Structure formats: C-alpha cells, structure tokens
Chains A and B, each alone.
Chain A
Amino acid sequence: MKQELKYIGEKIIENAYQLSMTVGGKNLSELEREKDDILSSAIHVEYRKKIFELFGISLFTDDMENLIEKVDEWSNQAAEIALHSGLSISDSLRVISSYRTVVWEVFTKELAERQFAAITILDVSKTIDPLLDRIGRVMSEVYERHNTNLMNNAYSALEELSVPVVPVTDGVAIIPIVGSIDTQRAMLIMEVSLNESARLNLTDVILDVSGVPIIDTMVANQIFQIISALNLTGVKAYLTGIRPEIAQTIVGLGVDFSHINTRANMRQALSEIGFKKVE
C-alpha cells in the first residue's frame, strides 16, 4: 500500500503543472469569466503547481513537519497573490476546495480500471484533506489581517475628517462637530483644536454642536475641558448649536453651562465677533 501511495504521490508531482492548468481551465461554474481568466494566468498556474508538488510529497514523506511548514508558507503567499488579483475570500476558498477532486484527474485510467484499493484512496484523502483545511485557515487569516488593516486605515481617515477646523477669516475659525462624541473623539477634538489654533493664530473659535445627537454629562464635561484648554491658550471659544431639547436635558441633568460662552446659533456668534454682510 505504501508503494501505491508513493506511486500516486510521484504521479501527482510529475503532473503538477497539468493539474494546476486544470484548476484554471475548470471554469468553476460559480466564478465569473473574468476571475477564471485570472486563475488561468501564467503566474497563478506556476504558483499553484507548487502546492500539487507538495501534495504529492505529502503522500510518502517522512518529514511531515517540514512539509506543513512549506504548505503554510505557500498559503500565505497564495493569499497575497489572490488579494492582489482581486479575488474574494470565498472565491479563493472555492478554488482551494476544487483541488480535492482535481488531484484525481491524472488517475482516470487507474480509477476506471479500479486499480487502487479503497483504503489507498481513503489514505490519500486522510493526508491531503487536512492540508487543504490548513490552507483555507491560513488564507482566511491573511484575508482577515488585510481587512483589519483596511478598517484601521478607514478609521484613521474618518478620524481626520471628524474635526474639521474651518478658518473663516484672520483669527476666526469654526469647528462643526457632527455625530456622537466618545472619549477618543473628545481627545481628538481637544488636540486638533489646540494645534490648529496655534498654527492658524486663532483668537476666536466657534464650536458648533448642532450635529451632536445627545449631550450627556460625559460629553458636557469633555466640552468644558476643550473650552477651558482653548481659553488657557488665549482663544475665545463660543459654543453654538444647542438644540432646544438638548438644552432642556442639560438643565434636567443639572449641568451648569453658565461659565461657557454659549450662543443660540452660529449667526449670533459670528455677528458678535464682528461679521456682517456688506451691502
């Protein structure tokens, strides 16, 4: 039986290139035509050939550990290539599962003549299937890492957008805040508003919170701190855009805003600073 396994292994290695081509030309029915072309491209075929060689070796090697290491290495790179080619994770996993059947395609004659013992076929599966599972797992991990990276990048891009300091004239800027304020964002508002005030030489800053859905005691506290810090650096800070229902809630909570320069709306604050329309 060992001999049979070795025969199968060697034949797989011998025909690795052809097997790899088969995957490309298999036209995995669910895959779009365009993706099928990607799979048939020379670089993919060449790369895929290596894994079939590894499958072949796995059937008779004595050093399984070393082989598994190579399989992991292959899977990592395969995932990178797949990502680069724009294949989704489900497409990649579907292709990987197809290897399970593809492997047998060079044995059509033997299978037709029932030359292999059932136990041999079972042994081949018992060796190759865990490897396939492993490839799937490693590739998923690479995709997951990639997605986490993407998400982190998107989050920092969003963070940059989340504190827009809009200069309106020399020394005056508006910071419109839209969306909920959590601890992290409050820190960012503090940091950005202080830095930009120094950089732009601001004397007056209007913090507009009409886009903030709720002001609870934590948010109120953060706003106080931001405004105190701005005042400390010599910037006069105005708070505008507190909606009627928010005003009622702030009073209900018993939070004291009297030491804060609040104005009903941006227009009031601007006109106080000295803005007016010139006819």
Chain B
Amino acid sequence: MVIDINAEKDIMKARTGGRNRLRDMNAGAIDQARVLSAISELARNIYLYAGNGRLTLEIIEEPAGKRGVRLTAEDHGPGISMVNKALEKGYSTSGGLGAGLPGVKNMMDEFDIDSTPGKGTKVTVLKWIS
C-alpha cells in the first residue's frame, strides 16, 4: 500500500488503509493499535515538516511463518539536522509533545532513520505481528 501524503486528511487515509491491511492479516488489537499509531506519527511528521511525501506499507512473510509489517515514510523536506535530538523524548521543533519519533522507535521492533538536511528524510520501521 502506498499513500501520498499531501494534506491532513491523507493521514486518516493512511490509517484507514493500514487498518484494513492489518485486519486482513488478523493482527491482534494491540499490534493493530501500535502499527496504526506508528502510521499516524510518521504520516503526520511528513505532513507537518515536509508538507508532502509518501508512506508505504508492506507485509513481510518469512518462510518460517513469521509475519510483519514494514512502514517506509519518505519525504524530500528540510531533513533533520540533529537526528539524535529528534529521537530524544520531549524534543520538538513544532510545539508538539516530542513523543512521536521516540515513541515509534520504542513501539516497533526495528527502526531506521536516514535524514540529510536540505534533502529529505526516510524512516523505515518494522513490526513483527504475533
């Protein structure tokens, strides 16, 4: 699933799309809520800081029967000059709670961020679904 994020309503669209995928996977309520808030946070970051970008949701299936969801949030916005700061709880440049990125990192099983000031940001996360 690929959702272009250009407006606030696209965040809701991403969430609705994500919810349907997770339901199809028969993911539990807690896993669903976690992935959905991650979608919400990542999509909101795109909308808030870059204006537009794109969020991709992929379903991963390993031969052993392990299943997971990979989210990729990519934008060509201003980038983050201090990535470590952005991952610190309570740090925000937008007057928010500063809990978004650290929260996502905390809730997901794998987290990767790649940001170049002036070029854009790419966040990839993975959550195994039990």
Contact = CB atoms under 8 A, between A and B. Distances in A.
Interface stretch (B34-42, B63-71, B109-117): B34-42
Interface residues of A, dominant DSSP? helix
Contacts of B30: 244-245, 248-249
B49 to A, nearest CB: 13
A214 B8 contact: no
Interface stretch (A1-9, A13-21, A145-153, A217-225): A217-225
A213 interface: yes
Interface residues on B, range: 20 to 34
Nearest to A248: B30
A214 B97 contact: no
Interface residues of B, dominant DSSP? helix
Given A183-B8, A249-B107, A217 B96 contact: yes
A107 B15 CA distance: 62
A70 B97 CA distance: 59
A182 B41 contact: no
Contacts of A130: none
B12 interface: yes
Contact of A216 (B29, B40, B89, B102): B40
Interface string A114-154: 00000000000000000000000000000000000000000
B12 A221 contact: no
Contacts of A216: 37, 40-41, 44, 100
B120 interface: no
A254 B103 contact: yes
Interface residues on A, range: 20 to 34
Interface in B6-50: 8-9, 11-12, 15, 19, 29-30, 32-34, 36-37, 40-41, 44
The CB with the most chain B CB atoms within 10 A, among A213, A216, A253, is that of A216
B130 interface: no
Interface of B: 8-9, 11-12, 15, 19, 29-30, 32-34, 36-37, 40-41, 44, 89, 96-97, 99-100, 102-104, 106-107
20 contacts: A180-B15, A182-B8, A184-B8, A213-B15, A214-B37, A214-B40, A216-B40, A217-B97, A218-B40, A218-B96, A218-B100, A221-B97, A245-B33, A248-B30, A248-B34, A252-B107, A253-B41, A253-B100, A253-B106, A254-B106
